[in-house]
Amino acid sequence: MAALLALAAGCNSGTGEQAAAPPIVTVAQPAIGPVTDYIDFTGNTVATAAVTLVARVEGYLEKIHFTDGSFVRKNALLFTIQQDQYIAQLEKAQAQVRRQQAALWYAETELVRYGALEKKHAAAQTTVDHWRYERDAARAELAAAQAQLKIAKLNLSYTEVRAPFDGRIGRHLVYPGNLVGSLGKQTPLAEIDHIDPIYVYFTISERELLRIMARWKTPAATLPSQRKIPAYFGLLNEDTYPHEGRVDFAAISVAPTTGTLQARGIFPNHDMSVLPGLVVRVRVPSPESRSALMVPGEAVSFDQQGEYVLVANDKNVVERRAVKTGIQVGEMLVIDKGLTGNESIIVEGLLQAIPGRQVNPHRIKLKPPPAQFQQAAR
């Protein structure tokens, strides 16, 4: 009986030693590498040019030459207004020019003839003066006729409404057969937007403005004109900031009611995928990179007290360290506060790591992500 009890005690002792064995976890010191800080804003997309096409002459709308919502090229014919009367006015103006040219030729011929006769005392001076007046009057009449010809050509050109630039056109606002431009009114026909490139407007708070001025070491008024500040934006359904452009405008003063400064970025939009009026996330980078501590994103946890990582101290005991994370670079998170860089961060086996318990650390070395991952994480 005593032997059995001794054997049972020995088995229990062996089981306790197995249960007390510290779990194996993977630890590493934070990676150190260059990162670029960003300031984030919320903005709205706006067309770089928006025009309401109008009828500048009176007439019946004859034809529409585009499909609603389509992309049109510069100078593409969009609308045709009744042209008959304007063609007739052009022909009349051309005939008037020819008439005045003939009148001028006749007056100049008579002036030369009577001028020669007056020198031979065969014509009166008053006759010469009369034909000099007729010549000058004919010149003035010809200039007036030529001006009317230009107006007639211009009015005829207004019967063809063309695209002022490459852009996307909305729906037509008037159907063929309707009278447009009557009583001197400019009848709206359609709207067209130029969206390649496209603007993004956003506002900068006074505090953020001072941060940008300090980072770029230049006055706010000269930011767009003298410094090519890059900017990025992402749509609400995009996790990153794939659209790259630059800041090209900043307002001349801070609005006293809101304490913000309006700024604008310009971005390529070759595929026309970004439409005006969208809400976007804007990101403006710092001009210089800084060295920062980075840990894998899986090593950072959250609880009611905030963000934290688990570290193995010099006695291989798990400790909780509160941290403040920064931007994401690839699969790594920048640690702005809470670490010195010498800690052994638990990066794998977190479920087995309990604060206050001992672990068996397996050490590895973390490498900072390549530079292209910083671009991908914008």
pLDDT at position 290, please?
80
Average pLDDT over residues 274-299: 88
Q: How many domains does the chain have?
A: 3
pLDDT at 223 over 70: no
Average pLDDT over residues 289-302: 88
Range from 78-87, 215-224, 240-249 carrying the lowest mean pLDDT: 215-224
Average pLDDT over residues 274-292: 86
pLDDT at 220 over 60: no
Confidence of residue 6 (pLDDT cuts 50, 70, 90): very low
pLDDT at 247 over 80: yes
Phi-psi region of 349 (alpha: psi -120 to 50; beta: other; left: phi over 0): left
Phi, psi (5° rounding) for residue 242?
-80, -15
pLDDT at 5 over 60: no
- Of 264, 285, 306, the domain-final residue: 285
Average pLDDT over residues 336-352: 90
Average pLDDT over residues 346-375: 82
Q: Give the Cα separation of 125 and 115 in Å (integer).
A: 8
pLDDT at position 158, please?
94
- Structural domain boundaries, residue 224: 38-48+197-285
pLDDT at position 20, please?
65
Domain with residue 109: its CATH number is 1.10.287
Name residue, tokens 């002459």: 57
pTM of the model: 0.69
Tell me whether residue 340 is in a domain. yes
- Of 127, 158, 189, the domain-final residue: 158
Average pLDDT over residues 258-268: 91
Is residue 254 a contact partner of residue 261, using CB atoms and an 8 Å limit?
yes
Is residue 253 a contact partner of residue 209, using CB atoms and an 8 Å limit?
no
Whether residue 252 sits in one domain with residue 309: no
Whether residue 274 sits in one domain with residue 309: no
Whether residue 304 sits in one domain with residue 275: no
Q: b/e map of 21-33 (b: 16 or more CB within 10 Å)? A: ebeebbbbbbbeb
pLDDT at position 165, please?
93
- How far CA 244 is from CA of 229, 230, 236, 275, in Å, comes to 11, 7, 16, 16
Q: Which of 258, 340, 260 is nearest to 292 (CA)?
A: 340
Confidence of residue 3 (pLDDT cuts 50, 70, 90): very low
pLDDT at position 19, please?
56
Kindly report the average pLDDT of the chain as a whole number: 86
Tell me whether residue 152 is in a domain. yes
Tell me whether residue 345 is in a domain. yes
Whether residue 281 sits in one domain with residue 295: no
Whether residue 270 sits in one domain with residue 327: no
- Of 270, 285, 300, the domain-final residue: 285
Tell me whether residue 56 is in a domain. no
Whether residue 202 sits in one domain with residue 127: no
Listed in sequence order, the residues at least 6 apart from 48 whose beta carbon sits closer than 8 Å to its beta carbon are 194, 195, 197, 198, 199, 266
Whether residue 145 sits in one domain with residue 116: yes
Q: Give the Cα separation of 64 and 175 in Å (integer).
A: 8
pLDDT one-digit tens code per residue, 117-173: 888 888 888 888 899 999 999 999 999 999 999 999 999 999 999 999 999 999 999
Whether residue 42 sits in one domain with residue 30: no
Q: Which of 31, 90, 75, 38 is nearest to 375 (CA)?
A: 38
Average pLDDT over residues 189-207: 92
Phi, psi (5° rounding) for residue 10?
-65, -40
CA 143 distance to own-chain centroid: 49
**74 secondary structure, DSSP code:** T
Tell me whether residue 94 is in a domain. yes
Whether residue 324 sits in one domain with residue 300: yes
Confidence of residue 4 (pLDDT cuts 50, 70, 90): very low
| Residue predicted with more confidence, 163 or 11 | 163
Phi, psi (5° rounding) for residue 377?
-90, 10
Structure tokens at 190: 């359609």
Tell me whether residue 42 is in a domain. yes
Whether residue 142 sits in one domain with residue 96: yes
pLDDT at position 1, please?
42
Return the amino acid letter for 62: E
Whether residue 247 sits in one domain with residue 299: no
Q: Give the Cα separation of 138 and 133 in Å (integer).
A: 8
Tell me whether residue 328 is in a domain. yes
Confidence of residue 216 (pLDDT cuts 50, 70, 90): low
Whether residue 151 sits in one domain with residue 106: yes
pLDDT one-digit tens code per residue, 39-86: 889 999 999 999 999 999 999 999 999 999 999 999 999 999 999 999
Domain with residue 246: its CATH number is 2.40.30.170
Tell me whether residue 182 is in a domain. no
Name residue, tokens 């014919």: 77
In this structure, are strands 187-205 and 167-169 parallel, antiparallel, or unpaired? antiparallel
